[in-house]
Structure 1
């Protein structure tokens, strides 16, 4: 500890900077102003959303693209509860979020005296789903608590971490801590497990690799492994784009019959960094994914290995480290066992399973990818995204992610796109959102304008909650509550100073995308499922 004294709020900003934080998201209030005392003098940029849920989703998009924890500063009570949906989405999708909130003064906690923004037990509420929730009762504990938080965020399976600071603690002075970046501790497989897996790989004649979001940062090594094994690679939603365009890549959901057949016929199924949860492996809630007697799972989370499908070999390891270790133990590329042919056949069969409407929607996604090469598409829960989650090859790692997985929140795409753009300012971001979903976070158009980001808001307008309406009809239920009216989205965008247009024909999309990209990258384009000609031809 050094001799200089700083308030807890000032020291907090110093600690964030020392841990590589360059952006924070939040809406300041009386209950957090002391946390802002040192912010203006720092190198950290503050982004103000229009709602705290937007702060959480922005931090999520930032974290997914940057690989660093997304950080929020939120007031106690409603500011924090507004962000719970975003934190729950991050928990389900293994996204590192650090949420620092206020809480009422220490002397008032647990007494229920009707203080402003009071909750009966804010800490207990947050502890129910976060990796860590801590109340900073002693100001001197700040350095140690922050060190623990960052180590948790960087080690093991990521997720949300919450630290609450009582308002009477924020202004207390502590000696300026020694500023060091907190360490990360990633699990690494023991040699016996690596050798066991290497032997299984050498014996396999029909292997298949399943990829989840936990493998996405090891794209190059995974591609080398796939080539060595001549193994088709099936990517779940958060792994799309890892092997973009590779002949072994099968960018289709394991929920499809063709993928299940491919896996069932394999003599080795190697699952890397995937939860094997319902939104990837049982999207239709049919419990039809085959039981496998040759499944090997590699995951960074021991609990996930314990609760997932039974595996003949479970390996606790960071995927990148495991694959690199495995490559040193197996031979060079096998004589072809038909992996590329099996992958091509699986792609064809999976695509054939889709409806004509889905294939038309996927074609539009491919137009976006090919027109804006290197772009990142961030999606909400909307029909075109559902189709893409079933079958779509993103153009790059981290090039396709959305909220139609795990927690399945609406209103995600607009703020998450802002966060993604702040993580990669030179990259074009496309926010793919429905008319229903965008209205959950419509005001974040203003946040995008304020932040100067490169986001094209592509609004997929189908006059309401069409997916739910269709499901109700299929279940013999007269649709109710599925036709919320929508504003004139281009006019709303223009009111925020954002250029906008409504497409007359779907063939105009490439030109509209290029125009938006070339004019600064911030725009809104509306496609209407019925009124835009050529949509579902």
Structure 2
């Protein structure tokens, strides 16, 4: 038998990229290199690969803690965060965090392990750690999908991030059945965010011009600053506006982040006589980064 002694080309690229590596590639393209969760057989390869790449891997004692830490990460960074739960009880444990992300508009991408479909659909099967997760979760997220085939990986991960970050932010859920874990893909380099979604979302020119006109005519404007001011890193812009128009800054209960340089004109909403007087006497409210929720407005 003929033996080929030619050494392998060290620069040759592998024939395929495993799905779990591609998932990390897609999140890295978004600048995300932290994950929260407890690994199970579906995710052990992904967790080990994330550590090898230098990711920060946070594995708490309970999945709910992982979800809440991911929610906090979105507040700190203004970016999506990744939380991973084991199939069955792991995802059930994450439900409190998923609900929190829904009401707090936090763009956390939750990924849940699941049995291979051939196992899930058997007439006789063991029941350990099995529940149909999507029906339990889909009403609590902006987007829900399952990676049923390996070549869906890019479109589902991107759609989850796109939907979570579009308009009012919110959570998404991606199911990761076991039969796709080690499948390989022939894919190009992951696209940067601006190549597949809007990364700068703002008001159209007519609405901006209308707001400028209203501000110019106002005699006693106030700025109502919500948590979105902090997550969008817009504190400096709010400071400049407040000083330019001489307006006090009233903070919502979710918008108590500190803006250096305007402490003398910043007040909590509803817990300060000064802020109450400012609101009563105002003729224009400039609401920034807030939903104008019913408790305070």
Q: TM-score, normalised by structure 2?
A: 0.84
Q: Conserved in 1, the CA contact under 8 Å of 2:35 and 2:56?
A: yes
Using the TM superposition, give the Cα deviation of residue 13 of structure 1 relative to its aligned residue in structure 2, in angstroms: 2.1
CA contact 1:7–1:171 (8 Å) conserved in 2: yes
Alignment of 1:39-118 (within 5 A): 39-109=50-120, 113-118=125-130
Deviation at 1:36, TM superposition (A): 3.4
Distance, in Å, in 2 between the alignment partners of 1:159 and 1:93 is 8
Distance 2:165 2:277 in 1: 36
Query: CA 1:256–1:90 in structure 2 vs 1: closer, same or farther (change >3 Å)?
Result: farther
Aligned match of 2:248 in 232, 240, 245?
Answer: 232
Partner residue in 2 for 1:133: 144
TM-superposed deviation, 1:256: 6.1
Secondary structure of 1:220's counterpart equals helix
Distance 1:48 1:264, change over 3 A: same
2:227 maps to 1:213: yes
SS at match of 1:231: coil
Alpha-carbon separation, structure 2, partners of 1:72 and 1:268: 41
After the TM superposition, list the runs of 4 or more consecutive aligned residues in structure 1 that deviate by more than 6 angstroms. none
76-85 or 151-160, which deviates more: 151-160
Cα shift readout 1:400-439 (whole Å, capped 9, x = no counterpart): xxxxxxxxxxxxxxxxxxxxxxxxxxxxxxxxxxxxxxxx
C-alpha distance in 1, partners of 2:48/2:253?
Answer: 41
2:208 to 176, 194, 215: 194
Alpha-carbon separation, structure 1, partners of 2:70 and 2:250: 28
Would the aligned equivalents of 2:145 and 2:175 in 1 still touch at CA under 8 Å?
yes
Question: 1:222 is matched with which residue: 230, 238, 253?
Answer: 238
CA deviation map 1:16-51 (0-9, x unaligned): 223222111111123432433533432322111111
Q: Which residue matches 1:167? A: 178
- Relative contact order higher in (CA < 8 Å, ≥ 6 apart): 2
Aligned residues: 279
Match of 1:475 in 2: none
In 2, Cα distance between equivalents of 1:239 and 1:197: 22
The alpha carbon displacement at 1:147 in A equals 1.7
Secondary structure of residue in 2 paired with 1:38? helix
Residue 254 of structure 1 corresponds to which residue in structure 2? 270
Partner of 1:427: none
User: Does the 8 A contact of 1:13 with 1:42 survive in 2?
Assistant: no
Contact 2:42 2:181 in 1 (8 A): no
Number of the residue aligned with 2:10: none
Give the unaligned 5+ runs of structure 1.
Answer: 282-288, 290-537
Quote the offset at 1:67 in angstroms: 2.2
Paired residue for 1:19?
A: 30
User: What does residue 144 of structure 1 align with?
Assistant: 155
User: Given the superposition, is the C-alpha separation of residues 177 and 73 from structure 1 closer, same or farther in structure 2, using an over 3 Å criterion?
Assistant: farther
Deviations 1:97-127 (A, max 9, x none): 11111112223557785532211x3112211
Q: Provide TM-score, normalisation by structure 1.
A: 0.48
The question of 1:154 aligning with 2:140 is answered no
CA contact (8 A) 1:4 1:176 kept: no
